[in-house]
Amino acid sequence: MGKKSTKSVRDLLFGDLWEYAPAPQSSGFVDLKDHYGHFINGEFVTTEETFETINPATEEVLATVSIADDATVDRAVKAARKAYDNVWSKMPGKERAKYLYRIARMIQEKSRNLAVVETMDGGKPIRESRDVDVPLAAAHFFYYAGWADKLEYAFPGATVKSLGVAGQVIPWNFPLLMAAWKIAPALAAGNTVVIKPAETTPLTAMLLAEIFQEAGLPPGVVNIVNGFGETGAAIVNHDDVNKVAFTGSTQVGKIIQRAVAGTDKKLTLELGGKGANIIFDDASIDQAVEGIVNGIFFNQGHVCCAGSRLLVQENIAEEVLTKLKHRISTLIIGDPLDKNTDVGAINSRDQLDNIKRLVDIGEAEGAEKFQPRCTLPDKGFFFAPTVFTDVTPSHTIAQDEIFGPVLSVLTFRTPDEAIEKANNTPYGLACGIWSDKGSKLFRVASQLKCGIVWGNTYNRFDPTSPFGGYRESGFGREGGVQGLLAYLEVR
């Protein structure tokens, strides 16, 4: 012992002195079929037209998948209607509950399988699908199972009634989890379901269909149809659908809102966001830096509630950015199936192109770009974690949802300025506040126009905790007792 540091450069070196060896999650046990169709009336059916679903990390085709046309969607809605009229709406709540509990358990039993397929089909790191997506999906079914026979206690003084057939369209960023968020409350409330997974990530929903079959869920209670936007439109526009639930872009959400205008369909929308993560100078800095990383690089930034705008108090901006850059330098980017990967593959080529386009605009508009030194795989869709500094509210990258691992850093001087900047967006999904001072934190929280405020944390989810937005981030809540409102007539 006793060597003195001889470094003249006062910086940390995150190098290769001791590198983690590859730690691939084995996937040999995964038994994927070559082709997947739809799940209608308790059976797997295929239709003629197909598309390919690929692994975005390798660009290899995983399976071909049928496309549902209007007639197929109609079949699914009819099956759902029949199941609603004859079985599900008549079934005592406690029996519905047990089906949901059974599904939750089976998701837990097949958790590793589901996690691996989720990662292969969508590109997210196995650590996240294993530790976040799949456990939360099971927990969601477990939570809403308990509501199925207690609905009369959910809304004091009111009588509640199921709606009928729920038509649901879900996105590609959390394919299984979003299916759980949509299906569990719908079924608990006594509705039947026709749901369309995203076209880039259809596989875990089909594994979920297998679970429904194994669980003995009565035919037609959940119907899954695959396809693109047209298939989704067929669900949304079907006359016999009573409720439409959509999670996705604000642009498509508006189209859907127009489409159901003038009908009696109940609508809930979970749309985009441009969340502000506000760091005050009295914050626990190291944890805040961690929160920034978690806020924007979790799931490659493919998160509607991502903390994509960092608002940092001017007097600590330099310190925070230094620490942030160090932290980003330790992120491991690459094979999503590697257990050590922190940032996986971008979900699709289209999405990668869109991220690149917005990053180019950021540079063209004069923001300062930082990316850590990292080698991206040759094949597949990857994008390095990116931080833009010198961003002002008028920059495109401060306004548009990028939906990728790209952070825009703005500064503020006073709490009022932070609030004003945070609210300076048509969106209103989520914000983070980092401060050690409770009075300040809760005052700021009360002023933010968004559905979720994470105080000294970010990107946390729980089935008991309602999730949803203000303004153009949509309306309605998923999760918690409020999540039932979307699937019940309350009077």
Partner 1 sequence: MATSKKKSTATSTRLEVLKTFKLYIGGAFPRTESGRYISEETHKGEFVANICRASRKDFRNAVVAARKAQGSWAGRTPFNRSQIFYRMAEMLESRRDSFERALQERAGYTEKKAVAELDATIDRLIWYGGWADKYIQVFGNVNPVASAHFNFTMPEATGVVTALAPQKAPLLGLITALAPVIVSGNTVVLIVDHDHRSLAIDFAEVLHCSDLPGGVVNILTGYREEVLSYIGGHMDVDAVAAFDATPAEKKELGVEAAENVKRVHFFETPKKDDWTSDEAQSPYWILPFVEFKTAWHPMAF
Partner 2 sequence: MATDYAIPRVPSVDRVAADERAARFKSRSIKTTAKAAGLHLIISMIDLTTLEGKDTPGKVRMLCRKARQPLKGSDCPTVGAVCVYPPMVPIAKEELKGTDINIAAVATYFPSGQATIAERVDEVRRTVDAGANEIDMVINRGSFLAGDYGRVFDEIAATAEACGKAHLKVILETGELQTYDNVRLASQMAIDAGAHFIKTSTGKIKPAATMPVTLVMLETIRDHFLKTGKMVGMKPAGGISSAKLALRYLAMVKETLGDAWLDPDWFRFGASSLLNDVLMQLEKQRTGRYHSDRYLSMS
Binding site for partner 2 (CB under 8 A): 1-3, 5, 7, 10-23, 127, 131, 282-287, 290-291, 322, 330, 339-340, 436, 456-457
Kindly tell me which residue out of 61, 158, 216, 437 binds partner 1, with binding defined by CB under 8 A. Answer: 158
CB of 343 to partner 1, least distance (A): 23
CB of 261 to partner 1, least distance (A): 2
Buried b (16+ CB within 10 A) or exposed e, 14-34: eeeeeeeeeeebeeeebebee
Closer residue to partner 2 in complex, CB, 172/280: 280
CA-closest candidate to residue 159, choices 151, 167, 148: 151
Closer residue to partner 2 in complex, CB, 217/288: 288
- For residue 36, what is the DSSP state? E
CB of 131 to partner 2, least distance (A): 7
Q: Which does 451 bind (CB under 5 to 8 A by kind): partner 2, partner 1, none?
A: partner 1
Active-site choice (304, 305, 431, 450): 304
CB of 140 to partner 1, least distance (A): 12
Q: Which of residues 204-263 bind partner 1 (CB under 8 A)?
A: 250, 253-255, 257-258, 260-262
Neighbours of 101 (CB within 10 A): 17
Q: How is residue 110 written in tokens?
A: 């097949």
CA dist 143 and 125 (Å) reads: 26
**Residue 266 engages partner 1 in binding (rule: CB under 8 A):** no
270 catalytic? Reply is yes
Tokens 């001791």 sit at which residue? 18
Q: Where are the alpha helices (DSSP H) in 84-148?
A: 93-109, 111-122, 126-128, 134-147
CA dist 464 and 42 (Å) reads: 29
Q: Which does 472 bind (CB under 5 to 8 A by kind): partner 1, partner 2, none?
A: partner 1
CA dist 138 and 157 (Å) reads: 31
Those residues with Cβ within 8 angstroms of residue 11's Cβ, 6 or more apart along the chain or in another chain? none
Site track 39-68 with partner 1 (rule: CB under 8 A), x = hit: ------------------------------
CB of 298 to partner 2, least distance (A): 12
For 468, the 3-state DSSP assignment is coil
CA dist 469 and 471 (Å) reads: 7
Closer residue to partner 2 in complex, CB, 329/424: 329
**Residue 477 engages partner 1 in binding (rule: CB under 8 A):** yes
Q: How far is CA 187 from CA 144, 148, 228, 246, 338, in A?
A: 9, 8, 24, 16, 35
- For residue 479, what is the DSSP state? S
Active-site choice (270, 401, 472, 478): 270
Kindly tell me which residue out of 121, 247, 451, 484 binds partner 1, with binding defined by CB under 8 A. Answer: 451
CA-closest candidate to residue 27, choices 139, 171, 131, 130: 130
For 416, the 3-state DSSP assignment is helix
**Residue 460 engages partner 1 in binding (rule: CB under 8 A):** yes
431 catalytic? Reply is no
**Residue 271 engages partner 1 in binding (rule: CB under 8 A):** yes
Residues in contact with partner 1 by the rule CB under 8 A: 139, 155-158, 250, 253-255, 257-258, 260-262, 269, 271, 426, 428, 441-442, 445-446, 450-457, 460, 462, 464-468, 470-475, 477, 480-482, 485, 490-491
Which sequence positions are flagged as catalytic?
270, 304
